[in-house]
Amino acid sequence: MNDPAEHDYRIIASVDEVTSFPATITIDRDPFFLVQTGADADSYRLVSAICPHAGGLVRQHENELICPLHFWAFDPLTGESTNVPGERLDCQPVEVRDGHFTIRTNV
């Protein structure tokens, strides 16, 4: 019998496919960054690459994620804006399960 909890996760990439961070991931045509969030090699987060201000495609520039439309900047590890207080990119935790990066689907 299948464990119902197994269906609460979605595979977003194979661990073997990701060679550096942040990695660009596309889920259902939506762009994201997969980031490693700390010294713990098993700590990851999925960060939206869509700016909450005007929907621009956020790009990596040095140690920040920048929206080229109006230059909103974001911390890639937390999604928090570094120049517009109170704004942030959508984020969610990522787990490694059976050699794959996965996200929860029932959140």
For the beta sheet containing 23-27, the strands, ordered from the edge strand earlier in sequence to the opposite edge, are: 9-14, 100-104, 91-97, 44-48, 30-36, 23-27
Measured between alpha carbons, how far is 61 from 83 in angstroms, rounded to an integer?
14
- pLDDT at position 1, please? 40
Measured between alpha carbons, how far is 63 from 87 in angstroms, rounded to an integer?
18
How far from the centroid of its chain's Cα atoms is residue 101's Cα?
11
Share of residues in the chain with pLDDT > 70 (%) = 90
C-alpha angle 91/94/100, rounded to 5°?
Answer: 145
- pLDDT at position 38, please? 75
Average pLDDT over residues 87-100: 94
- pLDDT at position 37, please? 87
Residue 87 has which token pair? 């704004």
